[in-house]
Structures are given as structure tokens and as C-alpha cells.
Amino acid sequence: MPPPSTAARLYQLSDSPQLLTVVRRAQRSTNGHPSQRSAISPYQWSEKAPGDMDRTRWMLVVLVILVDVSQQTSVVDMYKGDSVLLPCEFPTFEMTNPTVVWSRSDLSPSIIHQRQQDGDELKDQNQLYRGRTLMLTEALESGDLSLNLTALTLSDRGTYTCSVTSARGKKKVKDVQLQVKETFPSWATILLLVLATVLLLSGGLFFHFRHYFQSVVHVQVEPEETSVLLPCKTLVRLPEEVKVKWKRNNNIVHQLQCDGLEEQYCLYSGRTNLNRNHPRDWSLTLKFPADEDSGTYICTAYIEESNILFKKQVELKVKVHQVEVEEGQKSVQLPFTTAITVDQESIYEVEWTRYEPETMKVHTTANQPEVQHEQFKNRTEMQKDALTTGNFSLTLNQPTVKDGGRYVCGVWKKKGQQRFLLRNKTVYLTVNPQKKSHDPSVNQVEEAGL
């Protein structure tokens, strides 16, 4: 048998004639509200209370009554389509032939569910609740009179009253106010999913075709990359006779179907290729990008110089090559690979110069050994067939801390009395001090130069 609830304890006290005075005081304190007075069992109160009743017991009983009164009405919030348990407890197990009725006073018929000692009695049940109500089989034996209501609808909103009837009369045990909220409409959920999908696809398409819409495109490339793509795409197909020019600082980088009045700038000779895989794609591939290639590139499409059909700006940033080595290493390589077109009529020279912290000639392929700084004599090497392989990397032997700085390699072309810079590359070299060994004997040998 479950322990009696607050209401059960109060019901057990209702046959005691000593509580009339306490009950009347409690009723007056609640201003005689009917729903609150109904919490007190109305059955056969005595008119007398003994003068020797313990005052502490009076206060305890009043507290029990007030707590029970506060629990007579509860509010339950649910959503449409859910199931809900409307709570109600009363000691029907101490009553003779009890009947519990759940009802709504605003409906006709008002009965939601009725249970007797021998089972459910639903012949007077409101048709709106047919097949949607359920109570425990042992409800009257346990005192748990809660009602399970399934498949909630908006019309189920209202106040549900749990009442108990027995040979001693009828008692309203509890009111439960049920709020049924509208669930988020399924069509709105589908619409949100469709919108989210459209936005996701739109974002992906915009990212994929961003080069068509951006007036300025920013491209960044690592120094180790062998090529970089400068994007230039149009939304419409241009005429077959269109002319295209790529320029940087008013120098021709690449041109298509243009008059031969302007020549390609020597720094880009043999390093550019115009993509023609698509009729609306005029992107330029620049081979062997170096930090000196960083800058603003303009792609212009036109029929005549005065009739420009399309123009796109690309900002290229090539990171400077960083090389780090520890002092004491056998050698370090300053990388520089590119491609040049060699003609037999010209003379080509390669110069490596350190400009920071002070300017020093590091290495030259020209037959001028006297120009090399003393700090680098007999310590530098380059491939002998560098012009053929395009590998102009410099090997610096026995690097020391004072070798650190900014190195620039220039590939020059001499034709007659003129000298042209064909390629340029910057490399920053950092030489860290050698870490000392924890073994003192090793450090002594190193300091002695042994």
C-alpha cells in the first residue's frame, strides 16, 4: 500500500470533531473561495473543539491544510499531438464503493473519463475524447487517479476537474489547467529546409564563380610553388576577334591577338600562358613566381583601345622565401628555380648579392673574382649549367651567424652595350648560433678548434 498523500492525511483527519475551529479559521483566511473551501472534507464536522488542544498541533494542521489548498490547481503546458498525464491523488482506498470522474465544465456532456470499482464507465463520455483517455487499472486501490490523455488537439485546452464520489457524498479533489500549444507547422519546417538548401547551394556557387563577380581578386602564393593562376573570367562570351592584354605597372605581361607594337616585358618572357580551355576564361598562368612578381595585374579585353569590353584587377602576393639553418652545418642552399629563353647572341650573368645588414657581392658567374666580398670567398657554389636547367640556387658552405641577411639573385642579359634584368628572387637567410653540448669536454675541444 503506498503512503498516504497530503490530501489523504487531511481526509483521515476529517472525522475528528476537534478540528472545526481550525478549519473555520483556515476558511476565513482564504476569504471563503469555493475552490479552496472544497479542499476541506465536508463530512460531519463537530461544533466543538476542546480547550486543551495543543496549540502547536493546531498550527501544524493549519499548515497541512494550506499546503493542500495550494496544490488544488495546477497548470500543464503541452504541444499539439503530445500525450499528457493529468495528476490527481486521493485516498479512495479508504472509501466504500468510490467513483472517480474527470470532467470539463465547459463541455456537454462534461464527462471526460469515469472509473468505478468494477472498471471504466464511458457510456456518458464526451465523444471528443473517445479512445484517448486511460487510467490505471488499480487507480481506486492505490489512490493514483491521474488521467492519461493522448493525441492532444487545440480543442483540449481547458480546466479538467478530478472528483471523487462515494456513499458519503461528492468531493472535488483537484483542477488541472491544460494548455495545448501549436507545434511548428510541418510546411514551415519544409520551407526552412528548402531555404537553407538554396542558401547553401547559392553560397557554394558564389564561391565557385566568385572570380566572375569580384572587381578585385586577391591571390597569395607560397615561394615554393612552381606556378600561380591569375583568374580572369567573364559572364558572357566575347567576340572571336577580341584582344586581351595582361599588364603590370604598364608593362606587358601577356597579350593575345594584339598588335605587335608592344613587346612582352623581359621579366615575364617564357613564364606566361593564357588559359583557353573555356570561351569565357582569360586567366593567366605565371610560372616560377617570385616575391618580385608581387603587385597589381590588370586583364583587359577589347575590340579597339577605345572600346573596352571587360577589365579585371588581380592583386598577387608572393611570400618571400625564408631559409633557416644552425651555425656549424656543412652548407646551406638559397633556392632559386626559374625558366629563361636563351639566345646565342647574348651574354647571361647571374649575381647573388646580400643587401642587409650591409651590401656585399656574394657570387657572380661573370669572370670577375675580384668583386666577390672576402667574407664569401671560396665558400659559394652554383650549377655550371644553370642557364640550361633554370636552377640558379646558391650553395653557401660553412654558414656562420654573420652570414644572415637578405640575399637577392639577379639573372641579367647583356646584348651589346645594354643590360636587361630577366629574373629576380629574394631569399632571407637566418643562421642560428650553434647549441653548446652539455658535455664540458666536447665544448673544450670545440673551443680549441680540434
Which tens digits make up the pLDDT trace of 328-337?
Answer: 999 999 999 9
Write out the three cell numbers for 298: 590588370
- Count of residues in the chain: 450
Residue 405 pLDDT grade (very low, low, confident, very high; cuts 50, 70, 90): very high
Answer with the residue of higher pLDDT: 22 or 383: 383
Hey, where are the domains in the chain?
A: 6-70, 74-181, 214-318, 321-432
Residue 210 pLDDT grade (very low, low, confident, very high; cuts 50, 70, 90): low
Contacts of 37 (CB under 8 A, 6+ apart): 27, 30
* Full-model pTM: 0.49
CB 394 within 8 A of CB 334: yes
What is the layout of strands, in order, in the sheet containing 284-287?
227-230, 284-287, 272-274
**Digit-coded pLDDT (tens) for 212-229:** 555 688 999 998 888 999
Question: For residue 48, is pLDDT > 70?
Answer: no
On the question of a common fold for 74-181 and 321-432, the answer reads yes
Answer with the residue of higher pLDDT: 260 or 394: 394
Contacts of 370 (CB under 8 A, 6+ apart): none
- Alpha helices of 209-360 — where are they, by DSSP H? 210-213
Mean pLDDT confidence for 173-188:
86
pLDDT the model gives residue 188: 79
Task: Return the CATH fold of 214-318.
Answer: Immunoglobulin-like (2.60.40)
Answer with the residue of higher pLDDT: 62 or 307: 307
β-pair type (360-364, 243-248): unpaired
CB 145 within 8 A of CB 164: yes
pLDDT the model gives residue 148: 96
CB 43 within 8 A of CB 168: yes
The architecture CATH gives domain 321-432: Sandwich (2.60)
Question: For residue 138, is pLDDT > 80?
Answer: yes
Write out the three cell numbers for 208: 565557385
CB 121 within 8 A of CB 190: no
Type of residue found at 22: V
Question: For residue 131, is pLDDT > 50?
Answer: yes
The architecture CATH gives domain 74-181: Sandwich (2.60)
CB 361 within 8 A of CB 351: yes
Question: For residue 139, is pLDDT > 50?
Answer: yes
**Digit-coded pLDDT (tens) for 62-107:** 444 444 444 467 889 899 999 999 999 999 888 888 999 999 999 9
